[in-house]
Amino acid sequence: MTSAAQMAEEIAPLSVYDASVCEFLSGLDALRGLLTRAEEFVALGRMVEHDLVEFRLAPDMDPFRSQIQRASDTAKGGVMGLAGRKVPRFEDTEATLGELRQRIDVTVELLQSISPIELAGSEARIIKINLRRRWITFDGRSYLLEFALPNFFFHVTIAYAILRHKGLNIGKLDYLVRVGERRSTLKDGIGV
């Protein structure tokens, strides 16, 4: 029997790479799956694609397409900022579910180009962001934990909520993709 202390020694410490790149990739994977489900919904004639892409939960909220765009921006901005790299600008021209999927794919490729070594020590990097015409300064740790991750998952969650509101038959494991995969693996007797 393994004690809690032994298990703690065997587990590697959580790195900035794990907490940023890996988490953003997980959320982008969930969005990719949600977009696939939305495309199926549209193909069945249950919704007009333009209406879904432009749908807002409330009049003062951004539409579905903007939720995907902001999630993409936050993931790439978060990781590039932590790595001390220039953040590439993506024009917000996506008007279809397929174009939104392409944006996610490009964001994933960008994140996969970052190595764990590039993020080593980034928790101490000074990061300044312009948030609604006001400059805010963070250290890398605070930036990731107080802004980048919460902002990213806010937009992923709103995209999910819009799809649920519009009638897609999706559930929690469509959002928590990696948990669903782990559950399937355990059910199949793998990784026990």
Per residue in 9-49, pLDDT (tens digit) is: 677 788 999 999 999 999 999 999 999 999 999 999 999 99
Residue 176: band (very low, low, confident or very high) from pLDDT cuts 50, 70, 90 = confident
pLDDT grade for 96, boundaries at 50, 70 and 90: very high
Whole-prediction pTM: 0.87
Q: Are 80 and 88 in contact (CB under 8 A)?
A: yes
Instruction: Report how far residue 142's alpha carbon sits from residue 140's, in angstroms, rounded to the nearest whole number.
Output: 6
Residue 184: which pLDDT band, with cuts at 50, 70 and 90? low
Answer yes or no: is pLDDT of 135 > 60.
Answer: yes
Contact 143, 78 (CB under 8 A): yes
Average pLDDT over residues 145-158: 97
Q: What is the mean pLDDT of residues 88-109?
A: 97
Q: How large is the average pLDDT for residues 160-169? A: 95
Q: How many CB atoms lie within 10 A of CB 47?
A: 18
- Torsion on CA atoms 172, 44, 67, 147, rounded to nearest 10: 20
Place of tokens 């180009």: 113
The pLDDT of residue 192 is 39
Range with the poorest average pLDDT among 12-21, 70-79, 146-155? 12-21
Q: Which residues pair with 136 in a beta bridge?
A: 129
Q: What are the start-end ranges of the H helices in the chain? A: 4-10, 16-17, 23-43, 49-53, 64-83, 97-112, 116-119, 140-142, 149-165, 172-175, 177-187
| pLDDT band with cut points at 50, 70 and 90 for residue 182 | low
What is the distance between the alpha carbons of residues 52 and 165, in angstroms, rounded to a whole number?
Answer: 10
pLDDT at 10: 72
Residue 139's φ and ψ, nearest 5 degrees, are -85, 165
**pLDDT of 8 higher than 70:** no
Domains within the chain, CATH numbers bracketed:
14-187 (1.20.120.450)
Residue 70: phi, psi to the nearest 5? -70, -35
